[in-house]
Structure 1
Amino acid sequence: MSLTLALAGDTMLGRGVADKLGRTAEPEAFVSAEVCQRLAGADLVLLNLECCLSDRGTPWPGRRFRFRAPPQAADLLAGLGVGCVTLANNHALDYGPDALRDTCRHLTRAGIRHVGVGDHLAEARRPLQVEVGGLRIAIVAFADHPTDFAAGVSHIGIAHADLATGTPSWLRETVSSLRDRADTVLLTPHWGPNMVTEPLPYIRHSADALLAAGVTLVAGHSAHVFHGVAPPVLYDLGDFLDDYATDPLTRNDLGLLWLVTLDEHGPVRLRALPLKLGYAHTRTATGDDWRWIRDRFTVACARLDSSVRVTGQDLVVELRDQPGGTP
């Protein structure tokens, strides 16, 4: 028994993407046919939704960037086959509590689950448990910033964990409670600063602590550029769809769609499809862009003691030792 989990990184559907949504919500207007086909081949698609879905709300004070997409963005996500999003990030409350509640409502209407936020602390921290293809997957989401978005005992917000001083006990205990109730415990954290090209030491320490607590797969995000893999930790998924300016050094316009094979014992293998992000449109990477992604990903993985092989246009990393060699 096995299935494919598609993991996409930061997805921002406001600003220029929202303008395009005013004209069409057809998936292939935003994501190429080949990428759509890869998503359609997955048993579950999960991404980090880095914006509100609402036509109302009050801008959160002191924010340099605020992202809000129209309600029909939920239909675009559904059309792409997205089954779950994490909302525990630094844009969930860009337009305040009303817009966050709208986001949850529009996602639910479109048949998309969400995790990492809630009307109170216990709800924000609550894992999402789903059964897909006969396998039980428990999803835990949190963000390590910003502190002013953190849910409280009686107020709405994100699941927040301050990792700078260590991994909080509530997070370790949440993970431990899931070990006997799930085939895979998926941790999807929004951690670390933007535009760094490798995980910082405190991120690596937290990943180790949470693996020891019972996490079986980590899929992080926040940097806007992909990081290497230290199986079973995908430190940063990079970006998936947005209208962001491109940094010429870190190349946040080049990314990966992460396709993870799971079985009843957890993650087996990663197949990563190289992507080229344009203005409100994402397609498969080709030519020099594909080679840049291959080379950077290979080096980044080697620094974390993992290896990459090329299969067609995919970059493959084994997430678990295979008996008798690598198939």
Structure 2
Amino acid sequence: MIEKRRRKRHGSHIFLITLILTIALGSVVLGCSMIWAVGSPQLVAVKLESQLANLVEDVQAAESVLASAQSAKPVGKYDALLADEALCRQQNIYAKTAASPNETTIVFAGDILFDDHYAVKVKMNQRGRGIEGSISQEMLDVMRSADIFMVNNEFPYSDRGTPTENKKFTFRAKPEYASYLLDMGADIVSLANNHAYDYGKIAFLDTLDTLNGIGMPYVGAGRNLEEAIKPVYFIVNDQKIAFVAATQIERTENPDTKEATQNSPGVFRCWNVDKLLEVVANAKQVSDYVIVYIHWGTEATDQLDWAQKDQAVKISNAGADLIIGDHPHVLQQFGYCEDTPVMYSLGNFLFNSKAQDTCLVKLTLDANGFKSLQFIPGRQQDCSVTMLHGTEKERVLSYMRKISPGVTIDGDGFVTKKG
């Protein structure tokens, strides 16, 4: 449709230019004829010079019209919305320029941790190279080159607060460490997890302020329920993509990680899934695609639990186009709910000292919709992450095929639905 509009405008401009030149040339011919009829050579020369000067001006004007026509950009369906900066800020809408005008790439990673008292940050400090010393260049290239890169930020940023009483693991990172997100190439983070509130309300609010301070969009948490449930929207290549995040962990009536309410800060909890379904459905009405990043499942197992299976179907039916899960700290299967792809758990990405398999998941969109979905195998080992190749890559792909009976995964990691 955009190409058709462009051709139509181009044809109109050609017609206008032709008309201008025809009229101008006709004026010259008519003027010359009248002058010759008078019979004065001097008058002929003067008038002819004037007519030719006018013709040159008309040609220059025609060239200007053509140049403007060729440089004009097609009108996008979201141009008017993007022109209203105040409305975009209010609705969490961000404009992105894609690396390619023909497709949009979105990459997802799992859990990260930058707490000074845990192994990943200790090793990072020892190496003295920041993110560059902890994530391989190959992985960073994929993350940084993505039009949108999303990761699970499983800790607060603060120098304040006290650890949650009787909680086995509590995490907190210095506010300045938020810059690592920028170094990784992150464009958006999820705070919908069971560690965002580890150091209480004050550290939680510091986290929101810290992320706002570096211009990092976040989903799944906020100063109140309205903010916590609000999607983030990216408009890329004239497509509007909604990101929603929620957590069903911890599954108790009085969780350590506080739930956002109408007048108190916290995370977007979805143990009762009704509100999440409402948010997804509403986002679908105003977006081309809806992506749900959800904290769910049982830790340390590749087996899906009943709540994952139950909610995946409901979230898909509500309008989600892709579901990405985390929390189990290990890889879980790919599946489909009707036509909605589900990656049930991305596993740890850069989280602890364990040697374990990890991944990036890369979604590519084009003008027709989903172009491809790719599983990129990686390895977390010695507190760093590398991309896998050869027999190690095939080992992880074979494992994913084994635990994902409903999909086909080819040798390059591209995932398609069976049947």
Answer yes or no: same fold by TM over 0.5. yes
**Residues 230, 117 of structure 1: alpha-carbon distance in 2 compared, 3 angstrom cutoff:** same
**Residues 289, 51 of structure 1: alpha-carbon distance in 2 compared, 3 angstrom cutoff:** farther
1:169 is the counterpart of 2:274: yes
C-alpha separation between the residues in 2 aligned to 1:67 and 1:266? 39
Task: Pick from 314, 319, 344 the counterpart of residue 235 of structure 1.
Answer: 344
- Equivalent positions of 1:87-126 (< 5 A) are 87-126=191-230
Q: Which has the higher strand share?
A: 1
Partner of 1:306: 407
SS at match of 2:111: strand
Residue identity matched to 1:86 = S
C-alpha separation between the residues in 1 aligned to 2:139 and 2:276? 34
Task: Pick from 312, 316, 335 the counterpart of residue 211 of structure 1.
Answer: 316
Q: How many residues get paired? A: 306
Q: TM-score, normalised by structure 2?
A: 0.69
- Equivalent positions of 1:183-222 (< 5 A) are 183-222=288-327
Unaligned runs of 5+ in 2: 1-101
Task: Pick from 341, 358, 362 the counterpart of residue 255 of structure 1.
Answer: 358
C-alpha separation between the residues in 1 aligned to 2:256 and 2:166? 11
Q: Which has the higher helix share?
A: 2
Higher relative contact order (Cα pairs below 8 Å, separated by 6+ residues): 1
Task: Pick from 92, 98, 106 the counterpart of residue 5 of structure 1.
Answer: 106
Task: Pick from 139, 150, 159 the counterpart of residue 35 of structure 1.
Answer: 139
Q: Which moved more, 1:74-83 or 1:264-273?
A: 264-273
Partner of 1:16: 119
Q: Deviations over 1:286-310 (max 9, x none)?
A: 45542331111111222xx111101
CA contact (8 A) 1:51 1:94 kept: yes
1:290 is the counterpart of 2:393: yes
**Residues 210, 227 of structure 1: alpha-carbon distance in 2 compared, 3 angstrom cutoff:** same
Q: Percent identity?
A: 29
Unaligned runs of 5+ in 1: 247-252, 322-327
Partner of 1:267: 370
C-alpha separation between the residues in 2 aligned to 1:225 and 1:205? 20
C-alpha separation between the residues in 1 aligned to 2:311 and 2:380? 30
CA contact (8 A) 1:143 1:189 kept: yes
CA contact (8 A) 1:268 1:320 kept: no
Partner of 1:249: none
Q: Deviations over 1:263-289 (max 9, x none)?
A: 355433212211110233111124554
CA contact (8 A) 1:74 1:107 kept: yes
CA contact (8 A) 1:2 1:263 kept: yes
Asked which structure has the greater CA Rg, the reply is 2
C-alpha separation between the residues in 1 aligned to 2:410 and 2:372? 12
Q: Which moved more, 1:149-158 or 1:266-275?
A: 266-275
Q: Deviations over 1:74-110 (max 9, x none)?
A: 1111011101000010000011112112222222222
Q: CA RMSD in A?
A: 2.0
